[in-house]
Each structure stands twice: as structure tokens, then as C-alpha cells.
Amino acid sequence: MSFKKAVMFFGVVLMFVESASAQTLTGGLSGTIHEFLGAVVPNAKITVRLKDKDADEKSARPKLRKLQNEEFTRTTTSNEAGEFSFSDLPAGVYEIEASTANGSSFKGRWYRVTAGKTNAYEIEFGTDCDNDTGKTIEISDAEKAEIVNQFLEKAILKKELADFESLARQKGPIIVSTEDIKPELIKLFENVQLMNAREVQQKADKSGDFLFVSISAKAVGECFLVSIANDWAIAKNSKDEYRYGGAGSSYIYRKQSGKIVGRLTSTWIR
């Protein structure tokens, strides 16, 4: 093989090596955008921003090394099914931002692009309670009371609280202890008695351990979080300070188009 042919041969080989290297150093990122109550979100603007390239790429090709000191972003729009897709992204960790014309927005970090693969993610508006803007959900005491009273009605009158049977077997009224909400806003149902945390403990110390209903309701960033549970009040002199039992549910609320909407996030039984 002549010198000229050898140079051409190795040049072609190098070109294929570089092409293969480029293919293995990039990947894809796809997903679906959902709104808070589950419907897909079409026509959302999706931006991905490279935050940290994979270590093996930082010493690879000059074109990719250059990205280390430059911001790399790509933008697309979700289709009618709420789906979006990016290809040929340098492998690494990305930040995703999404926004819609009606003002809904999402910003999330730590989405990975793997070389040679397309990683899929579900993106959901309304779950990022803590936000970069410092906005807080505007919810009145009357709105808080309406939400909490709906819980009590379902939990006690309709007996939908998990493990309600254990709670109902106790003698006397059902004790409800509230947190983060004014007691005067709570609607009293028949056979229900409100107590604060100190009164609950005093009753347990005097009469023994008992199950009670606890409610926690508080605003966190752009969300209103509510938990309702039946739990044990343990007397100071209890012979069984590690009682098992009790159950509950947690919910998340947001304002959407001026209305408060919410959904179940978790349930538990101990």
C-alpha cells in the first residue's frame, strides 16, 4: 500500500471512529406533560438545559469539550398527546423547564441523558410546591375550613377514614385534634369533640391510651397540604407505648384557573 493510500485509508477509519464516538456520546430525552389533575398538556414549551456533562465526555471530542464552558439548551413543544422528544443531546444531567400560555409552569432538575439511549420521564405541573419565585398559594380561612370539613364529613359521617372500625369501637365521642387551622372554623358533627394537642395528652394520661382523629392543614409554597389520620394518644404511664394501628391519608391542593383543586397523594396503615 502506497503512503498516499495509507493516509487516505487511515483518514476514512478515523472518520468512522469519530462518527461512532459521536453516536455513543449522545442520547435522547422524551416524556409526557400532565397537568395537576392528570390530563395531558399539549402545546407546552419544553426547554432542556445541560447542567453537568458525563465525566467521560469532558475529555472526548473538542466539539463536546467546548460545551463545558458554554450553556447548552434545546427547546421544543409538546404535541396534542402532551408528548415531547429531544435527540442528539450530550450525555449528562439536565434541567427541564415547561410552560404554557395560561401561566402554568414546571422546573425540575436531575434528569439524566444516557449515551446511546433515550430516557423517558413523566413531567407534571403542580407538584413543585416550593418554587424559585417565592409565590404562596392564596387561600382564605373559609376555603381552608371548607376543605377540612369535607374531610371530616367523609371520614366520620360517611365512615371513609381508613380503619374507621377501630376508631368507632371506642366508648364516648370521637376526638378530633386539629393543627394549623382555627378550631372555630371546624364544623362539629354529632358524636365529635374537638381538642387541642395538650387536651388530647391530658385525656390519655387520665383515662388511658385511645385512638383519635388528627388533622394537619398548611400552605407550603404554592400548595395546600392536608393530612387526616386516626392515631394513638399514648399516656405517660402507658404499658404499651409502642402501640400499632392507625391509618391516614394525605392530599395536595392547588389553585387552578381560580379554583381550588386537589387529589390524594398517599395513604398509610400502621
- Neighbour-count burial of 46, counting CB atoms closer than 10 A to its CB (0-12 exposed, 13-18 middle, 19+ buried): buried
Distance of CA 118 to the CA centre of its chain: 23
pLDDT (tens digit, 9 = 90+) per residue, 39-57? 899 999 999 999 988 754 4
pLDDT (tens digit, 9 = 90+) per residue, 129-188? 765 556 677 888 888 888 888 888 888 888 888 788 888 889 899 999 987 778 888 888
Does this model's pTM top 0.75? My answer is no
What's the pLDDT score for residue 74?
A: 96
The helix (run of H) or strand (run of E) holding residue 86 is strand 83-90
Could you tell me the CATH superfamily of domain 3-124?
Immunoglobulins (2.60.40.10)
What gap in Å lies between CA 16 and CA 14, rounded to an integer? 5
C-alpha cell read off for 159? 365512615
Q: Where are the domains of the chain?
A: 3-124, 141-269
